[in-house]
Structure 1
Amino acid sequence: MAEMIIGLNLVLLGNMGAGKSASGNTILGRQAFESKKSSRSVTQDVAVESETVCGRRVTVYDTPGFCHTELSVLEIQQMLERFLQRCESGLCVFLLVIKADRFTKEERETVEKIEKLLGEKRLEKTWILFTRGDELEEENLTINEFINLSEPLKRLVQKYEQRYHVFNNKKKEPSDQVQGLLTKILNLEYPSSRRIVLLGKSGVGKSAAGNTILGQKEFRSEQRMSSVTRESSVAQATVSGRSVSVVDTPGFFETQMKPEDLMAEIARSVYICSPGPHTFLIVFAVNMWFTEQEQQIPQIIEMMFGQELLKYSIILFTHGDQLEGKAVEELIQGNCRLRDLVQQCGGRFHVFNNKAQNNREQVNDLLQKIDSMIEQNGGGHYSHQRIENAQRFRREEEEQRQREEEERRQREEEERTREEKQKESCVCS
């Protein structure tokens, strides 16, 4: 499959004088932003410039030095929300620019301020960009040696899971430092490998679909109402030159497992394809009736994984050979519940004929749809943290429901007690 040309948005954040504008110029390979030493931030609003860099369209957002600006906290927040809405429509990465110099108290406070403005979710896409690499070279220091000189800096790098890079913005000639940064980012944020989780009820062809994707028989597959798969399992193969992992899960409504064990096993699918799946394939057979059970599946998925999972989902129809020339769109349009589910998944669906495993075009087309979905989501994957957040939210909702139920019972008991006392009072009088 041909490589996709991925647009990349880079947001430069940091203290005044850290070298944000100069770094933007280095990335774009031209004098795009005004860069000079000053007692106040040269950049008072977000400046945006684009260029084709290393064969990719790169857009750089240069932001004010947030600790040396005349903007109020509210104005900064409004500015962030205004431009983040635009740049997060594609693959967006935040570059926290820090001088390769003393990591002062002021700089630490700036980092904390930026982290608070971005929020926890965006920190997963944040990298540290060290500037003044030329000074490190003069002092004969490697970046690792420099980081280890400062305990707060070492902790910061660990917090960002070693996502960092070094720039020497004084280099005028083309160098590999920009290519190195883009390669690091794209390899981590948009990896060539794909991790896929199969979800659906028993007998719809999940395991067979997994075998079709991998191009080899990895999962036991039989057409029966009771699930052959009793525990989530993962298999991997090289598909169209890329590493693909598929997780097969027990079928929803599996009667030979306790409901709590079944749900826990399906939820475990997220953890066994660490650090998390790129997509969930919600599997239905084209020849089935969309019964009450099928209608429950979206609610079960939302309860287990959270509403956000549908952003990472594609509806996969199996038994495509039984369409007999009909378009699957007719099937979707003919059932309002199914149509609603497809719409919740961003209109994404695909059809497999599992009897034609040698037809690799159907697999390549699916991988292309997965790539497009990831790009629309701004890159990344569904993480362990998201399912933990969803499960915590569900527990809190249940605890709230129990508290309200207990309060209701107490009120009813108090009301009965009052009524009984009133009756006794009436009898006595």
Structure 2
Amino acid sequence: MADELRLVLLGGYQSGKSNVAHSFLNVKREFVQITTQCVKMEGNINGRKIILVDTPGWRNCYQLCDTMERLKDELVLSTSICPPGPHAFLLVIEVDFAFSEKHRKVAEGHVQFISEDIWDQTIIVFTKLQHLGDKTIEQYVESDGENLQKLTQKCGNRYVGFDTDLDRDGSQAKELFRQIEKLVAENNGRSFKADARRLMNLEIKIKNVEERASARAQQVLEKRRKLEEIKRNAEAEHDGSPLNIVLLGWVLSGKTLACNLILADDVSFDKTVMCVRTRGEVNGRKVTIVDTPSFWKFLPYQLNADSVNTEILKAMDPSPDAVLLAIPSDTSFLEEQTKVILENMRPLGEKVWRQTMVLFTCGGRLGNKPIEYHIESEGDALVRLVEMCGNRYHVFESLSMREDRTQVDQLLEKIEEMIMEGALLESNDEHQGRNKKSQERETQSEWLRIEDVKKILNEEWERSNAMMKDMLKTVSTHKFVRTGRSLDEPLDLRGEGINTELFINKRQLKDAIEREWNRQEAVDSSRIQYKLKCPNARAEISSCADEEDIKISCAKVIEWHQKNHFSDYGSASSYEEHDKTEQDLD
């Protein structure tokens, strides 16, 4: 028997991993914070030294390709923090939602990203047991469906229940310890052996990312020093003048919350279906912010509701002083996101990039890593977007900024510097690029055959919002069980009037739609958790859907569904099982 037990905790965001770690080791948790990188903890149980590594949690609805690179790096690194390797992996799964095929594939994808040979050393730990009512954990596994059973079978049917709030006598912790010792004995004390070459390559990659991040930060600092000098010389002309800002971003990017934070307004999640112009005062300066309807993250410009494109153009008249492009820092950023953003920005003209700054939201997920590390680690797509914005970017962390206004003050300083930089560029380059908007309007006619797709997307998004609003009204701290998916029935895209070839191909269109809805489900989950912690908080749902468009399209939606009752809709991973000859998008 090994003198010490080395364990790695895996699981989704808000699954209760950190609570399990502290309770199992009987270590007091001083304060609650998001686990953004691997945390090594030590304790002693029955005379045995325990080394436990807690890892960042993935989003339960995100495919592996939509998980940010630095989180995936941490998963791989977790096996090297407790040398020579962990004896067991504890996969934490909360029981307050229906465990669907999507959730199973997400869990399997992230676990297997560490290694394909991990399952014979894995134990499932079920948390939030208060939602089971009178059910035992065995009854829950048996009744929840084949997807949960498939996952438990992968783990050799090793699972325990562990609710830190219910384990008052320590019996659940004792059972978990017994299961771990049993697993280690069955494996003859064998520990997991990580791929040495993979770890070495990862160390080189991280070092390179850190060096590039440091160089980028230094480059930005030097540029800001020069602009600050120019600003001081022009202080009389610009200081104190009203500031007009436009916020752009994809659905659920956090731009509306960013507007609330800048103006120190009440936090809300009201949907933005048309331009909302809000005026306020920041440090004695008049500031006007125009929040715009959101475009899709994975779907092309042509599938936006007509009102979205119209309202974004309306927001640019009169021309703003600054455009803030909201990008969440808690998710991946791939080439497809760059393409979608370029499509949505193109109607605004080439000059818009001179007055655009990337505003990273969800900065609390960065941990102690600077935003430059996130930019460089995500790769060429995000780097290219940032550089198109003149290497201008800022990060907002969380609601705590309502008390600490430092980051808002810094944002306004950067906007002033951007205005100065734009004035310099304007004087050196008179190219206006005035024909861009008319070109975009002409190409829209090529996409008329997919009008039904566009309307159904917004219809289903709004319907799912309404369902979540109803759920939020009935949320209590005693019982809440998520349904596990935001749609009762997947969208079927087999209608003859839909020219999916104009998009790319049928499979990629379906995959993109599913990923949009996965993001909505992930954010809805966070809002439910927020409502549980703050019962009196507002928790409305954001949406890019236009209500009038939805009413007009309702009859067509019903007819379309009746004609296409049987759906072949599936995720990227499910299609891979049936057709391995087609190149995977991700």
Shorter-chain TM-score tier:
0.3 to 0.5
Alignment TM-score, normalising by the size of structure 2: 0.32
Give the number of the structure with larger relative contact order, counting CA–CA contacts within 8 Å between residues 6 or more apart: 2
Determine which structure has the larger helix proportion and give its number: 2
Question: Whose strand fraction is larger, Structure 1's or Structure 2's?
Answer: 1
Larger radius of gyration: 1
